[in-house]
Structure 1
Amino acid sequence: MNIAFFLVPKAEIICLSPENSMRQALERMEYHRYTAVPLVSGDGVYVGTITEGDLLWKLKNTPGLDFENCHRVLLEDVPRRLNNQPVNIQSNMESLISLAAAQNFVPVIDDQNVFIGMIRRREIIEYCRELMLKKTDAAAAGSGN
């Protein structure tokens, strides 16, 4: 199975730039109800993922920082706790599944590390569920039940 089958293209994804402010990130994440968003540089390269937790810890650990002035802090200055590893579009299902076990979504890049989309864990789980059901049905048919 080609992992491109699961790809949600970049055009359908909310992304942020490291040059966006914390306030922009908080407002977009709230509006879209996301807990994590890919960070993509101006030239399209995947740089990482920013999470609600990253923003919360920055607010907590920066004296004088609050929602009213967080527009002054760029996302590139917010430490990220997790490192969502991307997968190359040419990768196999095994690579994808091992990353998806630890990430809600897997960023997908091309050979130049340009972000081209993501694959959500939900779709991978659904695919595996369908495979299991097919095996169960085949086994039942083979045993005459």
Structure 2
Amino acid sequence: MTVLHELKNTNIMDQEIAELIIGHEKVAHVQAANPLDHALLILIKSGYTAVPVLDMHYRVQGQISKAQVLDTILGTERIEMDKLHEHTVESVMSEKVPKMNVDDNFGKALTLSINHPFVCIEDDEGAFVGLITRRAILVMVHREFQSD
């Protein structure tokens, strides 16, 4: 029996995600209009490779990563730090960010986390509630297998 087959036969896929959510007040984020130097500072200080981009009403606009920022300032011969002031988060962010509703189940979070370090969680009005990290998802899967 494969691991995936075993997962499909457990209740874990239908479990609620509430216990896995890191609340918005604890999540490092930036806004689309922020300059890239601010985004780089947030990314470095937080230790994360990517953070969500939110608008003024706490709605998810996308995500920005260290790689996107660094790609913008890498010249052919040197790192062009002065370019940080020439760009905003919006000009380099990815608008493709995995999102799900606070009422969705663990199975959806697991699927979305395959290609992303985190999944953004929204309420019924589309406001950012928080996020679930890939790490939290893997911990839950591990716990499920350890209980046998």
TM superposition score normalised by structure 2 = 0.81
> Deviation string for 1:40-86 (max 9, x for gaps)?
0011110111011111222237xxx9213412311111153x72211
User: Shift of residue 32 of structure 1?
Assistant: 1.9
- Higher Cα Rg, which structure: 1
Aligned to 1:41: 55
> Which residue identity lines up with residue 144 of structure 2 in the other structure?
L
Structure 2 residue 91 is matched with structure 1 residue 77: yes
In 2: Cα distance, 1:66 partner to 1:108 partner: 35
Structure 2: runs of 5 or more not aligned: 1-14
Letter in 1 for 2:86: R
Name the aligned partner's letter for residue 75 of structure 1: V
* 1:64-143 alignment runs, 5 A limit: 66-80=80-94, 83-135=96-148
Root-mean-square deviation (Å) = 2.1
Give deviations 1:10-31, integer Å, cap 9, x for gaps: 0011110001110001112112
Instruction: Percent identity, please.
Output: 22
What SS does the corresponding residue of 2:74 show, helix, strand or coil?
helix
Answer with 69-78 or 112-121: which moved more: 69-78
Counterpart in the other structure of 2:31:
17
Kindly tell me the number of residue pairs found equivalent between the two proteins: 133
Unaligned runs of 5+ in 1: 136-145
2:29 and 2:42 in contact (8 A); partners too? no
- TM-score (norm. length: structure 1): 0.83
- Within 2, Cα distance between the matches of 1:79 and 1:2? 30
Partner Cα distance (2:103, 2:110) in 1: 14
- 1:48 counterpart letter in structure 2: G
